[in-house]
């Protein structure tokens, strides 16, 4: 695989589309500082996924977009593309050529493209993983960072070795597997908790599901029975409706006969009304004519008044016009005089303007002469200043050299001071290290004891938390059961309240009477229905219902008179019987509660007698007598048999009701079983009251359990927090212990390094003293040259000052002349402006004269018109007075005719009244029939309402259309009393079930499915945990083998290449003392020839560069990267070391491709392709290239004869000199022998070598 090309557009200083083609071998990029060479390296990093703007020498990522220059606008996006030759199949993608692109828009949006298709940054990184290519790989060494590999800590340094060993991919997979393993373990813990919770819930739901299934079975049977019972009732209501409809049809026939007689009267009345309407029309016509006559009289009188007023107003207008004509005639004479005065003044101003124009022309000629003299003298001054500038530049160069030498001296003195300080610092540091080692050893023992103590406290907290967890779960289960009970009670309460709202069980007649009482204004004298006035416990509700029987729907009033009045009002309107009881009509009950008349014993003496029925009822004192009257002489017995025994004994004549609801009357009749559901008002209301009390008690219990649960959870959270704090303390103490141990190791290493550094400092101090003497001599020589140049500058400055004085004098004369010209122009403008103003004034005067003449003409015309209108108004008034006399005669005739028609109209109205009286008699009979029809309709509608209520209840309760079912229903011989009894039994069974959670069945099934699913998930997670652990072990084994093999190979190559670059010496890399090679750091040691083994940081800049190059090339040899980019890595090398470096690079050309950025001519000489980067247009980089395969033997580049020389881009002077030297060197190297010494080229920059003709490729701009 090879790097084929790099294409840039809008990236940093490359504003135009620029392409760099990379052939096999060495490509060198040259150019002056600041022209954009390093932007090429930044572009490669950027395409490969660099995310840090700081690494790209910017503050934000948008800084890589071309920001514009003096002559160009900024661009909206930046783009860079790298093209690789993948014909060898190195990259895992089946194409012969791979393009990787990156775009960034100024809006902040960015994208990556792989072969022009969008992709992710992760795809790019995975594509180049383990190839040696990447942002931080060893294939890219940036400017100034050549020694980063050596300066990095051991663990950072091993990253490059891992990339070379090809285990970066394995390391990434291992990290991903470890993350998955950690997530799997967390999921197992969480899944175990969830599974325990679900199983506990399943055990609780199974019991509820059993109750729910029984409830559904009873409810299904109850629904079937209630629907059959409702169909029978629907049948009875439908038969009654048919009978009512027959009565209504008969009454409607009678009403039709009387309506026929009424129609005959209506015909006679219509004839009379027609005659009356004719008379009315004639009367209206006469009245209309009279109105028109009166209107005409008034109109003419108004018109006469209007014309009189108009004549007066016109006379006033005539007088005003006469005065206006006189005033305008006087103003006309004044306007003629003003026009003549303006004409004379205009002639005088025109003569003065012509004189001023001649003066302005004379001044301008004199000004042109003075300006020519000033320009000539300014040119001579500029020539003198240019000569002075050359001297200043020469002096600046000498001064800069002198300042550089001063800075060199200061640097040498500073370095010497630092070395002395360093020597003292080493002694002090060794003493401090000894004290710190002792302190860290004591701290390590203390931390070990603290960790053991906190682990014991953590275990105690864990056991306490488990106990609290069990307590919280128990309270939570009780809380859930209480919530379920509350939900069931709420459902039952809502059902009962709905029945109450709909009046279920109350006959329609009773409801109608109650409505009449509310709307009749006498509600305060009515107490209500018995069932609404009493309270009974649920356990005794059946007993009291049976004892009262139909009396529970009895209505109680204060007075019997109110009852009778209501009966009269509602007579014939009720669909059924309604019973009433008046408090003032109740007779005291004799011997109602005294059984001693028979045997002299109290009621408690009879085992079968439970008590008096009235004792089980609570009622207000105002209605207590009525309740006692209804339940008088009623005893509650345990069973019906016991009641029969008591009735045949001393308690004969009393009523008995058993606990099961059976009744034994005083006359011996027996009612067996409790009342039906249609009469269960007392039971329903008693149950509703009991449910409300239970719900209040349950609410208090729920609140108490919720508070207990919250307290338990808070305590559990506090324990969890305490455990977390202890774990954090253990973690911090353990980390501190590891940190202390690491510091002890680092202190030992530091002590060893300081002891090695001492002898090196002395030799460096001697070298600095020698360099200081040489720099001082050079500085003195430069100071003498600067003084001589300053004397020459003083002479030039004096000559320039004399010429400047002459120039200033001429300039002042020219400025005075310009001021004079300005004043003359101002005066001329004033005269022209005055002449223009006079022209405007003359035009205004002429317009005023014309307006005055027009006003006089208009006044005379208006005067004649007013006089004509006065004459017309006088003639009109004479005509109107004649018409008034005629209209008075017509008015008297119309009034006589109106009086005659009024008499005829009165006669017709009397006849019409007689017919109306006969019609009203017939209408009364029709209204009576209509009233009877309405009553029957009310009864029919009441039956219809009852049937509709029945249909509605069935629809609401069962979602069924009763009318549709009735169409298919056949009446059968069924014991409907037995059906009602079975309905009561089913209702009793459902009530015994208590609160039912119908969702428990589905919840049980869902919980069982979820339990099965969770157990399967748990098994899958356990298998995944084992698989991930095995995968991590296999990755670690493979990574260790690869790393050890690569490390041994790099170590041998590094030792060999170091000796080759330095011509001797010794270097080595070794692993730090870690047991696991995958975690061990890598240390580097080097000993140049003639020196002792020392730290890398103490090597010189050139030695560091050579050592780093040796290590990088060793890695290349062990695992070659497809290409390498070296940015000014030879900057710190002298000429002899540059030659060794270039010779070594050539040895790797069969393995890798090199792109080198350099200023060194010897490095340029080994290039196969040489690119120059220029900045001819400020702020915009351009590329020029040369291939040395096209060079002549004397260093010239072959040119195309048809290409004009003017089209070639020219490099700056210093770059052209570098290319010339490089071209000559390449030509000589092809002819010279292999034994040529590198020193032969030391003076080549001074020779006159022909410059290569550089072929420029114009950029393609988009």
φ, ψ dihedrals at 104, nearest 5°: -135, 125
DSSP 651: T
Q: What per-residue string of b and e applies to 1027-1052 under the rule 16 or more CB within 10 Å gives b?
A: ebeebbeebbeebbebbeebbebbbe
For residue 826 the two structure tokens come to: 């101002």
Report the relative pairing of strands 1066-1071 and 670-671 from DSSP bridges.
unpaired
Maximum C-alpha span of the chain: 164
Burial of 704 (0-12, 13-18, 19+ CB in 10 A): middle
pLDDT at position 151, please?
67
Residues 6+ apart with CB under 8 A from 931: none
Q: With a cut of 50, say whether residue 624 has pLDDT above it.
A: yes
Over range 1109-1127, report the average pLDDT. Answer: 79
Q: What is the pTM of this model?
A: 0.37
Burial of 621 (0-12, 13-18, 19+ CB in 10 A): exposed
Distance, in Å, from the CA atom of 4 to the CA atom of 291, rounded to the nearest integer, reads 115
Burial of 1160 (0-12, 13-18, 19+ CB in 10 A): buried
Please tell me the number of Cα atoms within 13 Å of 838 on its side-chain side. Answer: 18
- Encode pLDDT of 1204-1242 as tens digits: 333 334 344 444 444 444 444 444 444 443 333 333 323
Is 232 among the domain residues? no
Distance, in Å, from the CA atom of 258 to the CA atom of 435, rounded to the nearest integer, reads 134
Q: 16 or 1208, which is more confident?
A: 16
Tell me, letter by letter, the H, E, C secondary structure of 565-630: HHHHHCCCCCCCCCCEEEHHHCCCCCCCCCCHHHHCCCHHHCCCEEEEHHHHCEECCCCHHHHHHH
Read off the CATH number of the domain in which 534 is found.
Answer: 3.30.70.1620
Ramachandran assignment for 265, one of left (phi > 0), alpha (psi -120 to 50 degrees), beta (any other): alpha
Burial of 386 (0-12, 13-18, 19+ CB in 10 A): exposed
For residue 17 the two structure tokens come to: 């589309």
Please tell me the number of Cα atoms within 13 Å of 894 on its side-chain side. Answer: 18
User: What distance lies between CA 809 and its chain's CA centroid?
Assistant: 75
- Encode pLDDT of 878-927 as tens digits: 777 777 777 777 777 777 777 777 777 777 777 778 777 777 788 778 87
Nearest to 6 by CA among 65, 62, 81: 81
Over range 51-62, report the average pLDDT. Answer: 84
Q: Give long-range contacts, CB 8 A cutoff, 24+ apart: 947-952.
A: 947/234, 947/237, 947/238, 947/241, 949/502, 949/508, 950/230, 950/233, 950/234, 950/237, 951/234
DSSP 1260: B
- Encode pLDDT of 237-250 as tens digits: 788 888 878 888 88
Distance, in Å, from the CA atom of 788 to the CA atom of 783, rounded to the nearest integer, reads 9
Is 1147 among the domain residues? no
CB distance 1071 to 190 below 8 Å: no
Query: Helix crossing, 999-1062 with 168-501: angle to 10°?
Result: 160
- Encode pLDDT of 327-342 as tens digits: 777 777 777 777 777 7
For residue 537 the two structure tokens come to: 């416990």
pLDDT at position 150, please?
65
CB distance 672 to 681 below 8 Å: no
Is 622 among the domain residues? yes
Distance, in Å, from the CA atom of 668 to the CA atom of 654, rounded to the nearest integer, reads 10
For residue 252 the two structure tokens come to: 């409607």
Report the relative pairing of strands 1153-1157 and 1123-1127 from DSSP bridges.
parallel
User: What distance lies between CA 844 and its chain's CA centroid?
Assistant: 72
- Encode pLDDT of 859-886 as tens digits: 778 778 877 877 787 778 777 777 777 7
The confidence band for 1093, taking pLDDT boundaries of 50, 70 and 90, is low
For residue 997 the two structure tokens come to: 């959670």
C-alpha radius of gyration, the chain, whole number: 62
pLDDT at position 638, please?
86
Whole-angstrom CA distances from 931 to 95, 516, 938 are 103, 19, 10
Distance, in Å, from the CA atom of 144 to the CA atom of 157, rounded to the nearest integer, reads 17
Distance, in Å, from the CA atom of 593 to the CA atom of 603, rounded to the nearest integer, reads 9
Distance, in Å, from the CA atom of 1224 to the CA atom of 1231, rounded to the nearest integer, reads 11
Highest mean pLDDT range out of 495-504, 601-610, 647-656? 647-656
Distance, in Å, from the CA atom of 100 to the CA atom of 123, rounded to the nearest integer, reads 11
Nearest to 678 by CA among 576, 526, 610, 582: 576
CB distance 262 to 922 below 8 Å: yes
Distance, in Å, from the CA atom of 490 to the CA atom of 698, rounded to the nearest integer, reads 11
Distance, in Å, from the CA atom of 373 to the CA atom of 370, rounded to the nearest integer, reads 5
Q: How far apart are the first and last CA of the chain?
A: 30
Report the percentage of the chain scoring pLDDT > 70.
87
DSSP line for 460-476: HHHHHHHHHHHHHHHHH
Nearest to 549 by CA among 401, 651, 661, 624: 661
Q: With a cut of 50, say whether residue 606 has pLDDT above it.
A: yes
Q: With a cut of 60, say whether residue 17 has pLDDT above it.
A: yes
Nearest to 987 by CA among 232, 233, 221: 221
Nearest to 902 by CA among 272, 269, 278, 279: 279
Nearest to 168 by CA among 198, 196, 205, 131: 131
Q: What's the number of domains the chain is made of? A: 1
Distance, in Å, from the CA atom of 556 to the CA atom of 548, rounded to the nearest integer, reads 14
Domain range enclosing 611: 506-679
Distance, in Å, from the CA atom of 1074 to the CA atom of 1079, rounded to the nearest integer, reads 7
Other C-beta atoms closer than 10 Å to the C-beta of 1153 total 25
Report the relative pairing of strands 618-619 and 580-582 from DSSP bridges.
unpaired
Is 858 among the domain residues? no
pLDDT at position 226, please?
77
Is 588 among the domain residues? yes
Distance, in Å, from the CA atom of 616 to the CA atom of 542, rounded to the nearest integer, reads 11
Distance, in Å, from the CA atom of 169 to the CA atom of 128, rounded to the nearest integer, reads 10
Distance, in Å, from the CA atom of 1219 to the CA atom of 1195, rounded to the nearest integer, reads 10
Apex CA 919: angle with CA 914 and CA 925, to 5°?
Answer: 140
pLDDT at position 521, please?
67
Is 601 among the domain residues? yes
Residues 6+ apart with CB under 8 A from 892: none
- Residue 117: enclosing H or E segment and its boundaries? strand 117-119
pLDDT at position 1189, please?
52
The confidence band for 8, taking pLDDT boundaries of 50, 70 and 90, is very high
Ramachandran assignment for 375, one of left (phi > 0), alpha (psi -120 to 50 degrees), beta (any other): alpha
Nearest to 167 by CA among 1117, 1038, 1076, 1082: 1038
Whole-angstrom CA distances from 45 to 6, 50, 405, 940 are 12, 6, 38, 97
- Encode pLDDT of 133-175 as tens digits: 776 666 777 765 566 666 677 766 677 777 666 676 677 777 7
Is 568 among the domain residues? yes
Is 581 among the domain residues? yes
Residues 6+ apart with CB under 8 A from 239: none
Q: Give long-range contacts, CB 8 A cutoff, 24+ apart: 73-76.
A: 74/106, 75/10, 75/15, 76/10, 76/105, 76/106
Whole-angstrom CA distances from 280 to 293, 610, 911 are 20, 91, 16
Average pLDDT score over the chain: 77
């Amino acid at each position: 695989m090879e790097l084929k090309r790099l294409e840039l557009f809008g990236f940093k200083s490359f504003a135009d589309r620029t392409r760099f083609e990379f052939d096999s071998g060495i490509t060198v990029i040259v150019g002056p500082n600041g022209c954009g060479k390093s932007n090429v390296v930044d572009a490669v990093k950027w395409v490969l996924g660099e995310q840090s703007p700081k690494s790209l020498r910017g503050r934000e990522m948008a800084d890589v977009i071309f920001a514009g220059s003096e002559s160009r606008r900024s661009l909206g996006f930046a783009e860079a593309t790298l093209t690789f030759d993948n014909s060898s199949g190195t990259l895992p993608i089946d194409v012969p050529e791979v393009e990787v692109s990156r775009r960034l828009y100024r809006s902040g949006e960015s994208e990556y493209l792989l072969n022009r298709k969008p992709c992710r940054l992760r795809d790019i990184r995975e594509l180049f993983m383990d190839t040696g290519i990447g942002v931080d790989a060893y294939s890219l060494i940036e400017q100034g960072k050549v020694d980063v590999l050596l300066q990095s800590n051991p663990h950072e340094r091993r990253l490059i070795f891992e990339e070379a060993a090809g285990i970066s991919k394995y390391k990434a997979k291992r990290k991903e597997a470890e993350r998955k393993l950690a997530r799997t373990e967390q999921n197992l813990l969480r899944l175990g908790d969830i599974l325990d919770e679900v199983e506990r819930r399943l055990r609780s739901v199974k019991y509820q599901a059993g109750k729910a299934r029984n409830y559904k079975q009873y409810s299904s049977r109850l629904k079937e029975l209630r629907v059959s019972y409702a169909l029978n009732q629907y049948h009875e209501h439908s038969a009654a409706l048919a009978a009512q409809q027959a009565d209504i049809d008969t009454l409607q026939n009678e009403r039709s006969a009387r309506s026929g007689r009424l129609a005959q009267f209506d015909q006679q009345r219509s004839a009379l009304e027609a005659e009356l309407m004719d008379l009315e029309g004639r009367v209206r016509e006469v009245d209309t004519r009279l109105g028109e006559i009166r209107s005409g009289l008034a109109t003419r009188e108004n018109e006469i008044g209007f014309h009189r007023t108009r004549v007066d107003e016109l006379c006033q207008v005539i007088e005003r016009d006469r005065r206006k004509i006189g005033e305008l005639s006087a103003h006309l004479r004044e306007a003629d005089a003003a026009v003549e005065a303006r004409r004379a003044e205009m002639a005088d101003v025109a003569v003065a303007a012509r004189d001023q124009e001649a003066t302005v022309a004379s001044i301008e000629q004199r000004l042109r002469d003075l300006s020519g003299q000033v320009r000539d003298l300014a040119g001579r001054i500029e020539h003198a200043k240019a000569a002075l500038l050359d001297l200043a530049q020469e002096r600046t160069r000498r001064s800069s050299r002198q300042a550089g030498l001063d800075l060199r001296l200061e640097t040498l003195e500073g370095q010497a001071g630092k070395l002395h300080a360093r020597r003292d610092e080493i002694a002090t540091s060794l003493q401090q290290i000894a004290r710190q080692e002792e302190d860290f050893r004591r701290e390590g023992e203390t931390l070990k004891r603290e960790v053991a103590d906190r682990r014991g406290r953590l275990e105690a907290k864990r056991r306490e938390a488990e106990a609290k967890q069990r307590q919280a779960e128990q309270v939570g289960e009780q809380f859930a059961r209480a919530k379920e009970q509350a939900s069931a009670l709420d459902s039952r309460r809502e059902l009962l309240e709905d029945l109450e709202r709909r009046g279920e069980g109350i006959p329609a007649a009773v409801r109608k009477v109650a409505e009449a009482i509310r709307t009749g204004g006498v509600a305060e004298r009515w107490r209500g229905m018995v069932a609404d006035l009493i309270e009974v416990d649920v356990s005794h509700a059946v007993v009291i219902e049976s004892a009262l029987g139909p009396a529970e729907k009895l209505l109680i009033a204060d007075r019997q008179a109110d009852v009778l009045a209501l009966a009269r009002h509602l007579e014939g309107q009720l669909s059924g019987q309604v019973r009433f009881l008046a408090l003032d009509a109740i007779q005291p009950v004799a011997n109602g509660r005294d059984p001693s008349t028979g045997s002299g014993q109290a009621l408690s003496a009879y085992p079968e007698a439970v008590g008096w029925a009235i004792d089980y009822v609570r009622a207000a004192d105002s209605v207590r007598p009525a309740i006692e009257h209804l339940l008088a002489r009623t005893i509650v017995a345990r069973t019906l048999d016991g009641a029969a025994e008591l009735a045949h004994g001393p308690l004969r004549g009393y009523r008995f009701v058993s606990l099961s609801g059976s009744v034994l009357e005083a006359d011996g009749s027996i009612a067996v079983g409790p009342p039906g559901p249609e009469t269960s008002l007392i039971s329903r209301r008693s149950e509703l009251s009991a449910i409300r009390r239970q719900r209040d008690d349950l609410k208090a219990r729920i609140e108490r359990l919720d508070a207990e649960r919250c307290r338990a959870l808070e305590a559990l959270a506090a324990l969890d927090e305490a455990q977390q704090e202890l774990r954090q303390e253990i973690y911090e103490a353990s980390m501190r212990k590891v940190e202390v141990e690491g510091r002890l190791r680092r202190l030992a290493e530091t002590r060893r390094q300081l002891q090695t550094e001492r002898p090196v400092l002395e030799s460096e101090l001697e070298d600095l003293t020698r360099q200081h003497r040489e720099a001082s001599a050079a500085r003195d020589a430069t100071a003498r040259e600067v003084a001589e140049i300053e004397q020459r500058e003083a002479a030039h400055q004096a000559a320039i000052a004399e010429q400047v004085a002459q120039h200033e004098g001429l300039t002042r004369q020219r400025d005075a002349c310009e001021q004079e010209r300005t004043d003359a122009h101002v005066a001329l403008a004033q005269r022209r402006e005055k002449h223009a103003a006079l022209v405007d004034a003359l035009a205004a005067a002429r317009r005023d004269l014309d307006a005055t003449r027009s006003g006089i003409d208009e006044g005379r015309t208006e005067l004649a018109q007013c006089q004509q209108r006065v004459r017309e108004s006088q003639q009109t008034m004479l005509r109107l007075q004649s018409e008034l006399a005629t209209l008075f005669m017509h008015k008297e005739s119309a009034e006589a005719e109106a009086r005659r028609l009024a008499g005829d109209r009165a006669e017709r109205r009397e006849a019409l009244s007689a017919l109306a009286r006969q019609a009203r008699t017939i209408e009364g009979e029709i209204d009576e029939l209509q009233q009877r029809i309405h009553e029957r309709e009310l009864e029919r509608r009441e039956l219809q309402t009852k049937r509709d209520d029945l249909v509605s209840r069935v629809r609401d309760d069962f979602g069924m259309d009763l009318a549709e079912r009735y169409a298919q229903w056949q009446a059968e011989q069924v014991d409907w009393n037995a059906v009602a009894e079975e309905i009561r039994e089913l209702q009793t069974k459902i009530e015994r079930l208590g609160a039912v959670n119908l969702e428990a069945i589905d919840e049980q099934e869902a919980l069982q499915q979820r339990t099965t699913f969770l157990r399967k998930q748990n098994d899958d997670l356990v298998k995944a945990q084992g698989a991930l652990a095995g995968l991590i072990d296999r990755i670690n084994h493979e990574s260790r083998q690869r790393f050890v093999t690569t490390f041994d190979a790099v170590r041998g190559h590094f030792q060999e290449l170091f000796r080759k670059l330095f011509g001797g010496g010794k270097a080595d890399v070794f692993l730090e003392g870690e047991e696991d090679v995958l975690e061990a750091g890598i240390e580097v040691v080097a000993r140049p020839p003639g020196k002792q083994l020392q730290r890398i940081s103490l090597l010189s800049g050139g030695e560091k560069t050579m050592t780093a190059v040796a290590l990088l090339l060793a890695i290349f040899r062990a695992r070659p990267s497809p290409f390498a980019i070296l940015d000014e890595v030879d900057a710190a090398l002298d000429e002899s070391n540059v030659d060794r470096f270039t010779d070594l690079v050539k040895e790797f050309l069969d393995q890798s491709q090199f792109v080198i950025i350099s200023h060194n001519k010897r490095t340029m000489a080994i290039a196969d392709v040489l690119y120059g980067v220029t900045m001819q247009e400020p702020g915009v980089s351009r590329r020029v290239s040369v291939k040395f395969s096209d060079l002549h033997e004397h260093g010239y580049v072959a040119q195309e004869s048809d290409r004009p020389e003017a089209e070639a881009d020219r490099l700056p002077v210093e770059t052209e000199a570098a290319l010339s030297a490089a071209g000559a060197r390449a030509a000589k190297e092809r002819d010279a022998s292999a034994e040529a010494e590198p020193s032969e080229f030391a003076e080549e920059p001074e020779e006159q070598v022909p410059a290569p003709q550089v072929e420029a490729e114009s950029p393609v701009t988009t």
